Amino acid sequence: LTGVREETPLKNSLVYMDNFQSERKKTERTELVVFFLSFCWPQPNVSDVNLISTSIHPALFFLPMFATPPPPAAPHQSTTSPNRPCMQGSPVMLSDDRPEGNTYKLMMHQIGRLVIGHNSLLSTPAVSCIIRKIKAIGGIILTASHNSGGPGGDFGIKFNVANGGPSSDTVMERISQVSRTLEEYAICPDLRIDLSRLGRQEFDLENKFKPFRVEIVDSVEVYLQLLRSIFDFSAIKSLLTGPDQLKIHIDAMNGVMGPYVRRILCDELGAPANSAVNCVPLEDFGGRPPEPNLTYATSLVEAMKGGDFGFGAAFDADGDRYMILGENGFFVNPSDSVAIMAANLSTIPYFKQHGVRGFARSMATSCALDRVAKAMKLALYETPAGWRYFGNLMDSGRCSLCGEESFGTGSDHIREKDGLWSVLMWLSIMAARKQSVEQLVREHWAKFGRNYFCRFDYEGLDPRAAFYLMRDLETVILDKAFTSQKFAVGDRIYSVERAENFEYIDPVDGTVARNQGLKITFTDASRLMFRMSGSDGGMGATIRIYAESFERDIERHNRETQV
């Protein structure tokens, strides 16, 4: 089998194969290998197969299944719908956030044009940007996201639809159904594409479109053009280079963001070259999970604690998540970050031009954004975890800014969370308000109150045990007697106001997402939430516990979040 190592471990695979045959055909320019397979695999519960251990050879099993387009949409569906038909000859975006992923890209059916980033590396926000710019029918992203990559690590595959955002539950269900009916797939083992050469390359393939086009684009330049249309670059450049120069420290964590950081923050906006570290993309991300938080971005934390820098940020592997630190390591909680952005949108040219229509956050994100929405008299939507739930809200003009507690924030400029956009949002606000990170945060707390928030992750759990734990917990909190209970914690009394298994009804199309997490709300607006995560790692289950306590008294805003 071309391209398949003999040592590929099949016995532990989630995929079972039968009736296996192979057949070789000769074309004019390359060899076409056809495999007849029968698959059985679990349906994805998010917009990706995220994540699969690389001990299961991804090129053999998962890409052919996942890359097969969904079946045609119903005639009544609009062309802007995520369920639009996959038309032959249409363009598709392909991207990766790791150098070793290059060999896994070209197994596509019914596609006449592929658009790939220079050297195959694109950030997820850039993919969303380009899908929308070229009006592609969708994009396939190979990414481990914020998880460990490389041999023995994770291998994720995402499918973004025509609006540039993650595919809906409906699309993923249809892809899963199609994958179960596949009998064959074709690869071109002798096809050689120079991913380092910008421009269009054409190929003559048997039974394919003639010519079959592959276009290599400078994704950094395309993304930079979008950012120029959103922000006042001259104001940011003055902040980074002027008399009162703000010294910044940016950690790309050896993911895809290195070229974007150097080109945009250093070359375009004038930050010194040594402001950016770990900018070389590595297939194992330097041996650490590329997760921008206080646990894994320790080098950034230590650098900021020294007091030499006024602003620090880190990005995950594919550039859609970020962490913000202020001078002396002052940490900005992601839930506070999106709320502070919302309160300062008037400083951003894009929102001055397009207006602000509403906000959205995931259920597990703190209610800090709610208080800003109320003050601005704008709608606030609470969704399940997962960026795909924001897509309909933005497409319908209901939402301009959205965020999740898992270090993701974005707006309707694309349909993905966007790490570098978030950093430029902060720098723009700092330039306009002439305040430090900590000053902005504390002023926000003084005006709106502080939502103390923390999350506890319990990973690698036995899935069966995790299921029963959540089931039993639901039984306890949904009992009528639970609603009247009170709990004493220190000098505070927490009285239960309501308890629920969170359910979301999409206001645009009416689709319902049930069993999205257990939520206990107290009379003082504090909350306690429990959720099983569907996007972490390939081994075991993860249960997340979220705790939120609201404090209006400014004298109590300096307490430690965890005691």
Among all residues, which ones are annotated catalytic? 145
CA distances from 273 to 137, 276, 287, 342, 349 (A): 38, 6, 24, 31, 27
SS3 track for 243-301: CCCCCEEEECCCCCCHHHHHHHHHHHCCCCHHHEECCCCCCCHHHCCCCCCCCCCHHHH
Gap between the Cα atoms of 263 and 242, Å rounded: 19
> Do the Cβ atoms of 338 and 453 come closer than 8 Å?
no
Q: What is the CA radius of gyration of the chain?
A: 24
| List of E strands, 480-522 | 486-489, 492-501, 504-505, 512-513, 518-522
Contacts 24+ apart (CB under 8 A), 3-11: 3/59, 3/60, 3/103, 3/187, 3/189, 4/57, 4/59, 4/60, 5/57, 8/57, 8/60, 9/55, 9/56
b/e map 499-512, b = 16+ CB within 10 Å: beebebebeeeeee
Gap between the Cα atoms of 396 and 186, Å rounded: 38
With CA atoms as reference, report the closest residue to 410 among 533, 226, 266.
226
DSSP state of 230: T
b/e map 377-415, b = 16+ CB within 10 Å: ebebbbbbbbbbbbbbbbbeebbbbbbbbbbbbbbbbbb
Torsion 424-426-429-430 (CA) sign:
negative
DSSP state of 98: S
